[in-house]
Chain A
Amino acid sequence: MIKKWDRIALLFISPFVIYFALLVAYPIFMALASSLSDWNILTGEMKWRGLVYYKKVFQDSLFYKSLKNSFVYLIVQVPLSIGIGMFVALLLNQRIRFRTFFRTAYFLPLPTSVIILSILWSWIYQTEGGVLNYLLSLVGLPAVGWLTSERLSMVSIALMKVWTDIGLYSVLFLGALQAVPKELLESGKLDGATSWQLFWHITLPLLNPAIVFSVVMATIWGLQIFAEPFLMTQGGPIDSSQTLALYLYREAFIWSRLGYGCAIGVVTSLIILLATLMQRRLIEQRISY
């Protein structure tokens, strides 16, 4: 007698289904409804507002500023993180000793909480008392307003993230590099290819999945950063390090503009989705052979 299906499966999946329904699906529905109306959750009153809040988002200069800041952050952080990660991975991929030591040292910032690193770096970055400017002064360079300069605040935060992520990407790419079949490289060498040619034409295309993945994930995470700007600059100076997440937090939780906050959440999520899709297409096109 063959059962059509395993009834016990219902028991297995029910905790997740309940969780998803109550804590994900319903809140998402609430977010959409809230963004289109004034919905007082506590009293149950709802007053339809239509696309008012969405219009407000697209007319808000702070929204565009947050977008621009996120863009600045990504432009700095993603290429540097991945580039340096790849470079370090290539260095580690040679026949060297102490590889584990180096890998551990580079990896150390990662298990350390973002909170700890943000507070630490906000001190290192201090314009007057910070050790970074002190070290610069030792080599004759002028002090930099890392977190106090409008132009640099987002860049400084991005650089800190690059520092944190070197370990992650170098280990990721090292794993991918070691998966490259040696025979391919051998035969390339026999054909007279230089190291650079070997890298560009054989290794890099094989590393494509890892690179695409890294770029997409870095973008998704990068668009959502909250702790770093919150703890290091509070979004300042003059909103130059305001991110979408910080913006949502302020509107929804500080100013209690809940409907508006939800609208920001929806728009932010759409932006993330869009950026992800666009990127995958772009990168896969460029490096595919």
Chain B
Amino acid sequence: MKSGLRTLVRPSLILTYVILLLGTVICLFPFYWMASNSFKPNYEVIKLPPNLLPRKWTIENYLYVFESMDVGRTFFNSGFVAAAQVLLNLLLSSLVAYALAKLRFPGKSALFNVVIAQIMIPFYLFIVPLFLLMDKYRLIDTYWALIVPGCVSSFSIFLLRQAFLTVPNDYIEAALVDGANHFYILFKICFPMIKPMAFTVALVTFHWSWNSFLWPFLVVVRDSMTTIPVALARYQDLQGIMSFRWGAMMAALTIAAVPILIFFLFAQKRYVEAFTMSGLKG
């Protein structure tokens, strides 16, 4: 018993907890600051020195945000684009990944090299011409411009191919003997077998799409087409012109952050897995 207590309160362990707790405070404080200031009336937000705890609670900032920004439309845009990109990516990347993993065709290794190469190509190499192409074909400020670039990800292809490689060929042989075609095999047999990886790909794609900034910022013109990141950037710009209402800005940020954080808290384990798996595999 005595030694048990000793190991529990070993000094180095206490130090560990203290450091970890300190780190937690550092990581969480900005979030607290964002949320708490969103509930302060504007005069209190800009008060110096700032109050760490709001003296007066108000929702006036939130009301202001909902009045000055079409929040619903913005969320819809982000959601629509993200859903489209996730579905398209899963579909199209699976097709290629399956072909690379299970089918035989000429140029297979060349194609694989292209896929690998594309992972390494920086976006900045072709962002200007891509924009000009979109402009030429009148696709700027449309959902096409938001969804199509990035609807197939080489990284997803790579991950899905890894997953398909683990599917034993016997299943496929058996299905072929039974007269099934490869579409059936891919979607009814292989895909269900790689659910974890499919979920990872879906999650990573969703995360990337939802938070994408540079490209949407370039191609969106009308306010009605903005996604959440673009809308926030425009809001910050707008605030600058009209003398900064930080309280309102914090409210806008909180509105934007809450859904994704709730989603994260529920899908935590998967999120962390997805990040580290996609990290370690590379």
Whether A110 contacts B92 by the Cβ 8 Å rule is: no
Q: Is B229 an interface residue (CB 8 A)?
A: yes
Bound-state CA distance A265–B256 (Å) is 32
Contacts A13-B111, A171-B272 hold; do A226 and B213 have CB atoms under 8 A apart? yes
Q: Is A213 an interface residue (CB 8 A)?
A: yes
Query: Which chain A residues border B260 with CB–CB below 8 Å?
Result: 111-113
Q: Is B136 an interface residue (CB 8 A)?
A: yes
Residue of B nearest to A120 (CB): B34
Bound-state CA distance A31–B257 (Å) is 36
Whether A41 contacts B136 by the Cβ 8 Å rule is: yes
Query: Which chain A residues border B149 with CB–CB below 8 Å?
Result: 23
Stretch at the interface among B17-25, B54-62, B63-71, B194-202: B17-25
User: What DSSP secondary structure best describes chain A's contact surface?
Assistant: helix
Report the contact-size class of chain A (Cβ under 8 Å from the partner): 35 or more
Bound-state CA distance A31–B106 (Å) is 30
Stretch at the interface among A55-63, A124-132, A281-289: A124-132
Q: Is A72 an interface residue (CB 8 A)?
A: no
Whether A16 contacts B92 by the Cβ 8 Å rule is: yes
Q: Is B171 an interface residue (CB 8 A)?
A: no
Whether B253 contacts A265 by the Cβ 8 Å rule is: no
Q: Is B9 an interface residue (CB 8 A)?
A: no
Residue of B nearest to A28 (CB): B126
Q: Encode A1-15 as 1/0 by CB contact (under 8 A) with B.
A: 000111111111101
Beta-carbon contacts under 8 Å, A90-134 to B: 91-92, 94, 96, 101-117, 119-121, 123-124, 128-129, 131, 134
Q: Is A176 an interface residue (CB 8 A)?
A: yes
Bound-state CA distance A34–B118 (Å) is 21
Beta-carbon contacts under 8 Å, A204-243 to B: 210, 213-214, 217, 220, 224, 226-227, 230-231
Q: How far is the CB of A12 from chain B (nearest CB, A)?
A: 4
Bound-state CA distance A171–B157 (Å) is 24
Whether B103 contacts A166 by the Cβ 8 Å rule is: no
Q: How far is the CB of A162 from chain B (nearest CB, A)?
A: 11
Q: Encode A79-97 as 1/0 by CB contact (under 8 A) with B.
A: 0000000001001101010
Bound-state CA distance A176–B280 (Å) is 9
Bound-state CA distance A266–B152 (Å) is 23
Which of A16, A129, A262 lies in contact with B95, CB distance below 8 A? A16
Whether A30 contacts B129 by the Cβ 8 Å rule is: yes
Bound-state CA distance A119–B214 (Å) is 15
Beta-carbon contacts under 8 Å, B99-127 to A: 99, 103-106, 111, 114, 118, 120-127
Residue of B nearest to A90 (CB): B16
Whether B211 contacts A115 by the Cβ 8 Å rule is: yes
Bound-state CA distance A272–B124 (Å) is 11
Whether A167 contacts B129 by the Cβ 8 Å rule is: no
Q: How far is the CB of A42 from chain B (nearest CB, A)?
A: 6
Query: Which chain B residues border A20 with CB–CB below 8 Å?
Result: 114, 118, 152
Residue of A nearest to B114 (CB): A20
Contacts A210-B280, A265-B128 hold; do A166 and B23 have CB atoms under 8 A apart? yes
Stretch at the interface among A150-158, A185-193, A245-253: A245-253
Bound-state CA distance A12–B261 (Å) is 36
Query: Which chain B residues border A266 with CB–CB below 8 Å?
Result: 125
Q: Is B50 an interface residue (CB 8 A)?
A: yes
Bound-state CA distance A172–B280 (Å) is 8
Q: Which 10 A-B pairs have CB atoms at the shortest separation, nearest pair first?
A: A30-B129, A27-B126, A9-B105, A27-B129, A12-B99, A115-B229, A9-B103, A113-B211, A111-B264, A6-B103
Beyond A116-B257, A131-B50, 11 additional pairs, beta carbon < 8 A: A4-B104, A6-B182, A8-B181, A24-B121, A42-B132, A103-B272, A112-B261, A116-B232, A123-B249, A134-B50, A227-B213
